[in-house]
Structure 1
Amino acid sequence: MAEKIKEYESEELTVIWKPEKCIHSEVCYKGLPDVFDPKARPWVNVAGESDQRIKEQIDRCPSGALSYKLKNESVAGDTIEDEQIVEVTKGGPLMVYGNIKVKHHDGSETSKHRMTAFCRCGASSNKPYCDGTHKKINFEG
């Protein structure tokens, strides 16, 4: 099954959203509510702020569900150099920043870039990745 991808375009920038990767952390909405409004349709308003501010906010997306590309350029922000950083978020996922390879129980492997959110609450329906369920079950950890 093909991954669902939505794109929102301005004159110079395309915002890319992959809903299946989104953990609904609200980092985008809280950072730029004039651009990212989950109650509006479409929920991304690329005219709500400058391209530079939108890019900066997208770079803060903890799941990597949001990315962007500039016209005539490849997708931005897909790689981080050699370093990996692991962050335990309060009441949320285990965030791994950097390029990693995830080895699954069935022997398959998945390459991840930029950042990856791993489930800590045990209730995700997308294990080992976080799907935002920790908010619904009021996970504390």
Structure 2
Amino acid sequence: MAAKRQGDRQPLMHAHLFGEFLMGDDSLRVYEGNELLFASREDRLLPLLKYIEQFAPYHQQVLVFDKIIGNAAALLCVKAACRVIYSPLGSELAINTLDRYRIEYHLTRVVPYIQRIDGEAMCPMEELSLDKEPEEFYELIKDTTSRPQD
């Protein structure tokens, strides 16, 4: 099941960039217009946190390509002043957040929630992000994500 919130004014260019992203090794890419501002191959939420710390104060209305958009990533995308998100996988929880903050999204596959790697339960960050506002969630995790996770 694919999900799309309408309003993308440059679908062909974005589709081309999304295709390149999917074929590459990056886990996150952030663009302002046609300019690539940030790319990372790191996993989990670390790339988004690094982008927010290093670049977000200087850029608005960015385009984000992320391998997985759960609610945690959606909240961080709000903090990052994101205008449009593309991802091959997103959660219904993320869609609720993106709709609430009027962020356009293009998700290839939608699941109820992001699962842990072992598939047994909800991802800890997805669970931690429930009922949080973007700034509240960012402050909660910005210093904890550098620690090893189970």
TM > 0.5 between the two? no
The structure with more radius of gyration:
1
* Superposition TM-score tier, normalisation by shorter sequence: under 0.3
Q: With a CA cutoff of 8 Å and minimum separation of 6, indicate the structure with the bigger relative contact order.
A: 2
